[in-house]
Amino acid sequence: MEIDPIQIDAHNASLLKQHTRKLQQLTRENSRTQYVIRKLVEFQIAIPSWALGTGGTRFGRFAGGGEPRTLEEKILDVGLLHQLNKSSGAISLHIPWDIPTHTKKIKALAADLGLKFDAVNSNTFQDQPHQKLSYKFGSLQHVNAKVRQQAIDHNLEVIKYGKALGSNAITVWLSDGSCFPGQLNFRKAFERTLESLQAIYAALPSQWKMFIEYKAFEPNFYSMTVGDWGQSYLYASKLGPKAYTLVDLGHHLPHANIEQIVALLLMEGKLGGFHFNDSKYGDDDLTVGSINPYQLFLIFNELVEGMDARHMNHATNLGWMIDASHNVKDPLEDLLQSVEAIKIAYAQSLLVDRRELNRAQQANDVARAQEILQQAFRTDVRPLLAEARLQAGAALQPLQLFRQLQVRRQLIAERGKNTQATGL
């Protein structure tokens, strides 16, 4: 389904007076609002094709109804999100969960909805039904060269699909590692993985990037062969200038200082992109900003500072993507909330008075530095997000409109109650 633009206009008209009042108030108090609104209009966050259905855990899955049954329906769902917020203008495919067999048709459908294809993701963490060799003991790290070659070939195929769709990056996340001490020779596993990554890197089209995603644990519980940002950085450095580290917020050990990691990767020109989510314990894949919005703000604070120092384009120089799983919420509602949380943190970080912060840092004025950060963090920037949406032709209150229009009910009527999307 698509939303009739007249319905968006009617929704906006009904909320305009209240919105204008809040925006004027904020504009009176802050001189940067026009700049922030402009930046917000440009800033897009890719939606992963695997997050449009219900996830579940190893203990069970509770279907939500109306889930997309095909890649086309997933693209239509992202189109719906984008109509509502004009901030989700890209989709990231996970292959083979979503194989774009008819690339021309898929590309045309996405273009019709104003969507681009973000990074493509390979999957060598599961065995597929007709796969010859198993990834039980790893893929790119495997002791058997034939398994490694199979995993390399899969990545090359993913690049081929991505190229046909107009993507310009591949994200490689490996579940490779070991569950028990003694299982793996760490050095040899690293060397084999590097060699395999080199074969994939060699096949990257010009202008493409390779994102190497790290993860502290799960599914391997003793060691992960790309277990932290240091290891990812090592691979990326050895591979060459097209290889970058990808930071997934849920992939750290508890209490990791992610904002510091981000700052240093940016300094080295090796930060490639993000997978946004939130967590309390591990890789919980919860809605962005639902547990720790201050940390998200601090991460964006480093991102903006670091990108500006390198004269980078906030919207296009890094890959911005959500990576989440929805167990109890409607996936579309959850994604609307995640996008909102990301843009709130981004807008707040644009409000940080950098000159003043720098002065406070130089003077070792710790209290003042904290005040400056928290002044920005405690600013309610939601009217700026709403204004950016209004200017872009989206809804002032996307979630409210989603509910008013009973989008999920319509999707269930179209697709049925017991559909299951491919993915997590």
Residue 338 Cβ vs Mn ion, minimum distance, rounded to whole Å: 13
Nearer to ligand PSV, 122 or 290 (CB): 122
Among 118, 248, 330, 387, binds Mn ion (CB under 5 A): 248
CA dihedral of residues 178, 48, 335, 319 (deg, nearest 10) = 90
Work out whether 424 is an interface residue with ligand PSV (CB under 6 A).
Answer: yes
CB of 277 to Mn ion, least distance (A): 8
Render 184-210 in DSSP notation, one character per residue. --HHHHHHHHHHHHHHHHHTPPTT-EE
Q: DSSP label at 50?
A: G
* 390 vs 421 by CB, closer to ligand PSV: 421
Q: Which residue is nearest to ligand PSV (CB)?
A: 173
Query: Which of the residues 184 through 213 are near ligand PSV (CB under 6 A)?
Result: 213
Closest distance of CB 116 from Mn ion, Å: 19
Backbone φ, ψ for residue 322 (5° rounding) = -90, 145
Q: Can you tell me whether residue 45 is helix, strand or coil?
A: coil
> Cβ distance 93 to 51 under 8 Å?
no
Closer of 125 and 137 to Mn ion (Cβ): 125
291-350: which residues touch ligand PSV (CB under 6 A)? 323
Q: Is-contact 295 348, C-beta < 8 A?
A: no
Nearest-approach distance from CB 248 to ligand PSV, in angstroms: 5
Q: Which is nearer to ligand PSV, 73 or 283 (CB)?
A: 283
86 binds, options ligand PSV, Mn ion, none, Cβ within 5 to 8 A by partner type: none
Question: Helix (H) and strand (E) counts for the chain?
Answer: 15, 11
Instruction: Considering only the stretches 55-63, 116-124, 274-282, 350-358, report the one whose residues sit in contact with Mn ion under the rule CB under 5 A.
Output: 274-282
Instruction: Please report, for residues 52, 53, 288, 325, the alpha-carbon distance to residue 329 in angstroms, rounded to integers and kept in the order given.
Output: 11, 10, 13, 9
Report the partner that residue 121 touches, choosing among Mn ion, ligand PSV, none (CB closer than 5 to 8 A by kind): ligand PSV
State the minimum distance, in angstroms, from the CB of residue 98 to ligand PSV.
Answer: 12
Site string for ligand PSV, 243-262 (x = CB under 6 A): -----x--------------
Does position 278 interact with Mn ion (CB under 5 A)? The reply is no
Q: What is the DSSP letter of 414?
A: H
The DSSP-derived string for 67-136 is: ---SHHHHHHHHHHHHHHHS---EEE-BTTTS--SSHHHHHHHHHHTT-EE--EE---SS--TT-SS--T
According to CB under 5 A, which residues from 379 to 398 bind Mn ion? none
For residue 387, the partner it binds in Mn ion, ligand PSV, none, with Cβ less than 5 to 8 A by kind, is: none
215 near ligand PSV, rule: CB under 6 A = yes
Rounded to whole angstroms, the Cα distance separating 58 from 66 reads: 22
Question: How big is the site for Mn ion, counted in residues (CB under 5 A)?
Answer: 3
Given candidates 278, 283, 333, 334, which one binds ligand PSV under the rule CB under 6 A? 283
283 binds, among ligand PSV, Mn ion, none (CB under 5 to 8 A by kind): ligand PSV
d(CA 95, CA 157) in angstroms, rounded, equals 9
Report the length, in residues, of the chain.
424
Q: Closest Cα to residue 304, out of 261, 269, 357, 350?
A: 350
Nearest one of 288, 325, 352 to 421, comparing CA atoms: 325
Residues between 33 and 62 with contacts to ligand PSV, criterion CB under 6 A: 50
CB of 218 vs ligand PSV, minimal distance in Å: 7
318 close to 346: Cβ distance less than 8 angstroms: no
State which of residues 82, 275, 326, 415 lies at the interface with ligand PSV (CB under 6 A). 275
Q: Which residues bind Mn ion (CB under 5 A)?
A: 248, 275, 323
Q: Which residues bind ligand PSV (CB under 6 A)?
A: 50, 94, 121, 173, 213, 215, 248, 275, 283, 323, 424
